[in-house]
A and B are shown apart, each in its own frame.
Chain A
Amino acid sequence: MVSLEHYLILSVVLFTIGVIGVLSRRNILIILMSIELMMNAVNINLIAFSNQLQDVIGQVFAVFVIVVAAAEAAVGLGIVIAMFSNKETVNVGEIDLMKW
């Protein structure tokens, strides 16, 4: 039987992987993927709670999170493309015009 705790542990693990990815990776695209991982950890949390509490709001919240994550990814990739056309790099280590 998969209980609430299992989902919460999965979510913590995913969230931690995401945070570590954001903090340690230098490639912007991988950082974006790590942020996506964090968002999805949140979604697992929300849906697990929603199932446990027999309450639909958690699922509604998760759908909103997915929508916002999609919008954010679109804008984020747009910004990356704008930067790439000026600088030809996706490495945050090379984005150093201003002190990081």
Chain B
Amino acid sequence: MEQFFQPQDLRAIAPELALTVFGLGLLVLDLIVPDKRKLGYWALAGVASAAILLFLNRNLDAATAYGGQVVVDPFADYFKLMFLLATGLTVGLSMRYLDVEGEQHGEYYALLLFAVMGMMFMAGGADMVTLYIGLETMAIATYVLVGFLRRRPRSNEASIKYFLLGAFSSGVLLYGMSLLYGISGSTNLVEIADALSRRGADPVSLIAMITVSAGMFFKIGAVPFHQWTPDAYEGAPTSVTAFMSVAVKAASFAMLLRIFLIGIGPLREQWVPVLAAVAVTTITLGNIAALRQTNVKRLLAYSSISHAGFVLLGLIAGNRTGMVAVVLYLFIYTFMNLGAWGVVVALRRGNVIGENVEDLNGLYSRNPVAAVAMLIFMLSLAGIPPTAGFIAKYHLFAAVIETGHVNVAVVAALNVAIGLYYYMRLVVAMFMAEPSEAGSVGFSRGVTSVLVITLALTILIGVYPDWFINLAQDATATLPVF
């Protein structure tokens, strides 16, 4: 057995270490600094230093550390970059929002950093133990963040629901992992794949596959395990909801990709039909449920369920285009969705909850820039050119059609139309309805910068996607395809 720890392994996990140091530092600073809002800048510094270390590590490609437990490859780097960007933007959204909610504490930022640290291990784990610990580090931090408004019964409720279903799904996932260990005698994903391809699809492998997939479907919020999503998203502080809908979801997808493509890759013939059924029902149910929502947070929660279904389409296709489409979709979704959530965060002021569709009424006359930004995010989420959302959906559909899954493509295409309907409901409210209250809506500096960055990227990727497609191609070059 090779040596488990070597000093150079520390370099491979340097970004994670930086986040941990800054997270712990935040907990200490929380006791010293009287102006808690300043701690947000410390969190941004942590994210920035992790990003710098990630950049310096870019030549480490395909290096493994800790006896093969952690791998540093372009796939992991791509996802880590995505998490860091999402976290930086979330901090920008949070700083004023927490003041409005009256819950400005240093722990909030520390928990964000710890959650990102867990996500990075989910993206970079090559071993079930690492993946599981990463998943739980992220999940436990997120349970607390969801319940962060602890005087608010809704937040408590969201937290308890998310926690119970999250812990339950971890149990199911773990059961599958224990069976995979029994089958292969190893927790390494590559060795599991070897054992499975020797063994074929016998009942025990199938039970392992089904329990592992059920656990992962819970985490990404796919039907039939999606019930926690709208409740957790609605009750959580809006900035945390924004974080969950992009970073937590992307991390779960990173782990899902590693497990499905490498670990249980040999069972692909068995899992593709399951995945196709799950993807189609996820897209459809998510969209249909979104149609009749009156709460913007719930509406966007259902929309995020249907987007998770779309991402699964790329995995069903399973070819090179499909893989590129999956990671590109997640990257683009991060920005367009964070932008949309940013507008919702900004509507929360003083006594105004700003969560209902009516609260968007006449936003155009109260803050034209925000209304136009929201319009572009909605068009992008619906997948209309020339926004980034179109590029994302275009690649997915191309991959699905290339591999001959025409039925799936037809259902997904119909769903784009349904999606357009409910996204446009928000647009109609903003541009055509009479404002329910007078006066303009001002945005804080943090929210404004987040909106500028997300808007710029949403349009930039839409009109000039080449650079981002290349990035996605590099990231998926090492993934196996079928």
Contact = CB atoms under 8 A, between A and B. Distances in A.
A54 to B, nearest CB: 9
Given A35-B171, A76-B167, A79-B147, A57 B186 contact: yes
Contacts of A79: 143-144, 147, 156, 159-160, 163
Contacts of A58: 181
Contact of B160 (A28, A48, A72): A28
Interface secondary structure of B, over-half rule? helix
Interface secondary structure of A, over-half rule? helix
A68 B132 contact: yes
B156 A83 contact: yes
Interface in A7-26: 11, 15, 18-19, 22
Contacts of A41: 175
B164 A22 contact: yes
Contacts of B129: 57, 60-61, 64
B385 interface: no
B5 to A, nearest CB: 14
Contacts of B227: 100
Interface string B105-144: 0000000000000000000000011001100100010011
Interface in A56-77: 57-58, 60-61, 64-65, 68, 71-72, 75-76
Given A38-B175, A79-B143, A31 B164 contact: yes
Contacts of A32: 164, 167
Interface residues of B, number: 42
A80 B144 CA distance: 11
A19 B170 CA distance: 12
Contacts of A52: 182
A65 B174 CA distance: 9
Query: How many A residues are at the interface, by size bracket?
Result: 35 or more
Contacts, number: 127
B158 interface: yes
Nearest to B178: A45
B260 to A, nearest CB: 20
A98 B164 contact: no
Nearest to B174: A42
B234 to A, nearest CB: 6
B171 A38 contact: yes
A64 B177 CA distance: 13
B205 to A, nearest CB: 14
B320 interface: no
Given A58-B181, A60-B129, A65-B174, A97 B153 contact: yes
Nearest to B146: A79
B143 A75 contact: yes
Contacts of B170: 68, 72
B181 A98 contact: no
A18 B171 contact: yes
B171 A39 contact: yes
- What 3 A-B pairs come out closest when comparing CB atoms? A38-B171, A45-B178, A83-B156
